[in-house]
Structure 1
């Protein structure tokens, strides 16, 4: 009798191993059975599940807008291929309307997260920017470590997950597992161990995988209380999990465990160092390239006003009859109230036109050429020369120009009654401009 009682007490006091529960997200938009969207979804899902059985993750798209479907599936890397495919197929059956088991059945944007797999299918292209949304955090073991040690425990978990994330980003399979010792709260007891796992879909470049896992770790800090001994963190593109004293994963012959114990894993150190060095060298190369381009651009900007002044000086010598002025940028800025939107007269394909008033009361129209035009000095000079040579009493008069760094501006006299097209193309005002008068204007210009 006493033996049976002891056995009953033992069974009642045994805590089952924590597992991550299922969770799903879905949008409000739905699709109909046997629709084109459902056909695209099933075609894509079949291809991705087949690839995931071999690679443990897959992404892709199928169909044409507005029935194009984007998808990402991921099975935990320590699962067998056939088991992975079966789990994903069961999840697909629950969301594509076959049996109505899921509240997200027939929804156009749906994500399902479980301990051993995760998937997302959507009519939005979440693959382009490596979006991990929607993210979900599940506290698998809510038991906390002693309050006095909670902060140190959280720091230790962060250290472990960061090391595992580094390893996962550097591995071709984009996954890694690890362990870290944790001292027992009671003297004389053996040290405890924290285990961790990190995984991304294999299509993610190392830097995007690492950034995705950083985002997941940030979610952990925000949504999990201090000192919790186990949690799983899910997203459409990457996932993480840690547990105290529970090695919840299997270590295959193709992977090595990252260890934060005193005897560190040399293979991991070499991989992490090589990866970090490669990333550093790549960033340094692009930084130097950027600096060189900026310096070259700055030199061009410094030379450009001098070149323009020389061009205009030579031009004046060639044609001394032209009445033309070079204005300072400060003069133009003061005249337009620092290019205030209130002073905009209009905007054309080459940039806006501002009204300006000089200190002597002279009103001008300033054409500010857009930097997008990429107009060179010679082309700008030719434009000025052509306009200046066709000066006429019936044409707006060019007064001068202004050159400042990338800025190129033409200064015209201001016409109070606006240009001729203001009258010609206005259904009301065109009545005041008879054909006889129009012919006189044309003769005057010719």
Structure 2
């Protein structure tokens, strides 16, 4: 009789594992009551809502007081939407059976958890002292003391990675010498901030330290966060965080730590090796339940072999069931990118995410340099005191893995004084990070559009910046191994080093051409309003002349200290191009120049630079010069400049009729993604 019972306990976590916590103190509902009807309504909507959420997370509230029901569900990040929906639906059924007519209940499975209550626990993201602790009563046998310390290092690293990830989810693996391989999974509800998530994990770490130290496996289950570790790979797919070759000096264990979320068991597990189940109810008004399950398997070899075979068969079936889901992810593509990068020169570094966290102080606000279209950029410092700029791809940004891969592989091949240097990258699960050289003087727009800083960039320096940008573009268009169209050249993408030398950055939208290609087209127009060439904005056609147009806009901005678009109006015009053209036709090009450089620049030189800029922004791409011709015109006064034709968008005027504003803009059937430049930083 004992063997079948123990077998069921051991197989429960592998099949439809379930652990429940029923709150008797919150009252009961009656059959066919309004409360039960509200529960049924939630059970029909919440599973689909969770499955349709990218984070497999959902909350909902149904009904009116006193029959209002609040619910929260979270599926494990390595399961697919179908498994999530099925698990949550089952959870509703089981919760109403296991906690019959309780108004509050929580149920935990491997794929998901569910909690509902008549009390509004959704109103706060604070963690409470309700939780479930499960552990294996067998201890580590190989290098037990070192393995125990390594376990806490793994859990701490996994917690930091999960708290800082967009999904608040991380799986990990630790391989160190002769110690056993350890696997870990940690997850918070994604509505928690990184700090709140880490606070929840701190409670988990305290429990782990006091009650799970030395155990071969264990888990802490809570409403807001959870953790599990084992000596075998229990999660699906490859770990997002790998820790290898860890130095033997691991952190010492602090035995004075006390748990914050889960209360200790009333007594230590019995030494006879039998599985035990303990449940404690607190004396507080909420009387939250604590369930402690200890599972051990000192069975005979026959029973053990039988269990292993069952486990293998179940995992094999599960693997087949999840083949389609795994194929839908981009992990193989990410791995392929990593392999290609590892084959490149030693100057390019593949960083571990823990190194990035340490360098940026866990992406602290104090280290934030700014926010680009694809995510925030942080300042960091490596152990050798080298300063770096870290661009962290935001999960909600328009830049997906394709653009990220494009930027990494592209910049890794480019070497030019006027292109920002990419030092390396980090690709670990949801985290995709680019590591650049740190340029202390920020970006060009920081100076030329700010009245308090514009005098810091005199005409001599502006001329050097203009020529440097032109040389960088010429390299991309002609002298690099591939012909590269940047597609997003603008003032904020021109970074300045300590000597104010310009470096073109942000190649996420760049396109690569062979030497025989002249132009390309796309149905997805991406770029920044005010810098896009008309043929690209309206028809999706891009070429080297698209970058030339952007350069012309940038040149006019450097000369005038004004943005091409934004909240400024120039006389009768809504943009800088029309205003510049009007001044050019009237011979008043000097009026275009910023006041601080008028006295430093010769009239002839001023006319020449305005002429070059207007040639670059001509409406017809065929009329615009190439960057080779632009560089020649900038560096040699002997080159004769033709008169420019009218620029694109020059007829964007302010209508004085009825004091309303009418704008003539090109129509487009493309799926346009546009980034608007802010008026200031």
Aligned partners of 2:218 and 2:149: how far apart in 1? 15
Query: Are the structure 2 counterparts of residues 262 and 219 from structure 1 closer, same or farther at C-alpha, using a change threshold of 3 Å?
Result: closer
2:105 equivalent in structure 1: 110
1:70 touches 1:123 (CA, 8 Å); kept in 2?
A: yes
Name the SS of the counterpart of 1:58 in structure 2: strand
1:256 and 2:240 are equivalent in the alignment: yes
1:58 touches 1:203 (CA, 8 Å); kept in 2?
A: no
2:147 touches 2:180 (CA, 8 Å); kept in 1?
A: no
Aligned partners of 1:17 and 1:194: how far apart in 2? 22
Structure 1 alignment gaps of length 5 or more? 1-14, 185-190, 284-446
Query: Are the structure 2 counterparts of residues 162 and 46 from structure 1 closer, same or farther at C-alpha, using a change threshold of 3 Å?
Result: farther
Alignment equivalent of 1:177, drawn from 151, 171, 182: 171
1:347 equivalent in structure 2: none
Name the SS of the counterpart of 1:25 in structure 2: strand
Aligned pairs for 1:36-115 within 5 A: 36-54=34-52, 55-96=55-96, 100=97, 102=98, 104-115=99-110
TM-score, structure 2 normalization: 0.34
TM-superposed deviation, 1:127: 2.4
Alignment equivalent of 1:193, drawn from 181, 199, 203: 181
Name the SS of the counterpart of 2:234 in structure 1: coil
Alignment equivalent of 2:364, drawn from 279, 291, 306: 279
2:150 equivalent in structure 1: 156
Aligned pairs for 1:127-166 within 5 A: 127-130=122-125, 131-139=127-135, 141-146=136-141, 149-166=143-160
1:58 touches 1:201 (CA, 8 Å); kept in 2?
A: no
TM-superposed deviation, 1:133: 4.5
2:117 equivalent in structure 1: 122
2:360 touches 2:367 (CA, 8 Å); kept in 1?
A: no
Aligned length: 253
TM-superposed deviation, 1:182: 4.2
Cα deviation code 1:109-134 (max 9, x no counterpart): 10111222211111122223323552
TM-superposed deviation, 1:197: 0.6
Query: Are the structure 2 counterparts of residues 151 and 63 from structure 1 closer, same or farther at C-alpha, using a change threshold of 3 Å?
Result: farther
Name the SS of the counterpart of 2:100 in structure 1: coil
2:228 equivalent in structure 1: 241
Which range is displaced more, 70-79 or 126-135? 126-135
Cα deviation code 1:64-102 (max 9, x no counterpart): 222222221111111121111111111211223xxx4x2
Name the SS of the counterpart of 2:119 in structure 1: coil
TM-superposed deviation, 1:24: 0.7
What is the RMSD computed on CA atoms of the aligned residues?
3.1
Aligned partners of 2:217 and 2:350: how far apart in 1? 24
Larger proportion of helix: 1
TM-score, structure 1 normalization: 0.51
Cα deviation code 1:405-429 (max 9, x no counterpart): xxxxxxxxxxxxxxxxxxxxxxxxx
1:360 equivalent in structure 2: none
1:167 touches 1:271 (CA, 8 Å); kept in 2?
A: no
1:179 touches 1:259 (CA, 8 Å); kept in 2?
A: yes
Aligned partners of 2:114 and 2:205: how far apart in 1? 20
Which range is displaced more, 85-94 or 215-224? 215-224
Aligned partners of 2:51 and 2:359: how far apart in 1? 30
Aligned pairs for 1:231-380 within 5 A: 231-244=218-231, 246-251=232-237, 256-261=240-245, 266-269=351-354, 272-273=357-358, 276-279=361-364, 281=366
Which of structures 1 and 2 has the larger relative contact order (alpha carbons within 8 angstroms, sep 6+)?
1
